[in-house]
Amino acid sequence: MLNKLKPDYIFDGVFDITPEFLTSRGIILLMCDLDNTLAPYGGKPPSRELIEWKKSLNDAGITVFIVSNTKKPRAGLFAKQFGVDYIKHAKKPRPENILAAIQACGAAPQTSALVGDQLLTDTLGANKCGCTSILVRPISLNNPLYLLRNLAEKAFLRLARRI
Ligand SMILES: [Mg+2]
């Protein structure tokens, strides 16, 4: 299980994931976690920079899709403003909904990547499905609970890197 917690790639944030990076690896679908990956927790709409980033991926033939564990309607609202399809309450790291997203987009695990800020949901889920796993730094850890969880995940990451 520990080797499934090892992300294939680690970036500071989603803006470091360029169309060139993805296309050179044959990736045509980028599934994105929402909270703390695309936007901070809360009700903020997608930033102009984020929309530009998405457009650059689309222009390169890459589909962007939100796979979020949130149960809140915000996922749908954000996805609409962002101009992408989405699955909410995805229950990552369970593979079912990640695989459903891949299928809905006409991709395959080998041509898909999933980016998120959490090892135990995003990275683990991606690795279970056999798609490329990309870990990014959480946008904001202003809630003590997120901070604790992040510290625990860093310990897992150190362990996983040793394998
Ligand atoms: Mg997240």
Q: What are phi and psi of 55, to 5 degrees?
A: -65, -40
Q: Please report where in the chains the tokens 């992300």 appear, as a residue.
A: 7
Please give the Cα distance from 144 to 78 (Å, whole number). Answer: 25
Q: What is the pLDDT of residues 142-154, one digit of tens each?
A: 777 878 888 888 8
Coil, strand or helix at 71:
coil
Q: What is the pLDDT of residues 2-25, one digit of tens each?
A: 889 999 999 999 999 999 999 999
In eight-state DSSP terms, residue 106 is T
Coil, strand or helix at 15:
helix
In eight-state DSSP terms, residue 35 is B
Q: What is the pLDDT of residues 105-144, one digit of tens each?
A: 999 999 999 999 999 999 999 999 999 999 999 998 777 7
**CATH pick for 2-162 out of 3.30.1180.10, 3.40.50.1000, 3.40.190.10, 3.40.47.10:** 3.40.50.1000
Q: What is the pLDDT of residue 1?
A: 73
Share of the chain above pLDDT 90, in %: 81
Closest CA to 15 of 47, 53, 45, 61: 53
79 CA distance to ligand 1 middle (Å): 15
- Residues bordering ligand 1, an ion, CB closer than 5 Å: 33, 35-36, 117
Close Cβ partners of 72 (under 8 Å, ≥ 6 residues apart):
88
Q: What is the pLDDT of residues 36-77, one digit of tens each?
A: 999 998 878 999 999 999 999 999 999 999 999 999 999 999
Q: Dig out the tokens for 24 from the structure.
A: 């050179």
Mean pLDDT of the chain: 94
Question: Is beta strand 85-87 parallel, antiparallel or unpaired with respect to 63-67?
Answer: parallel
Closest CA to 68 of 53, 79, 59, 80: 79
104 CA distance to ligand 1 middle (Å): 22
138 CA distance to ligand 1 middle (Å): 7
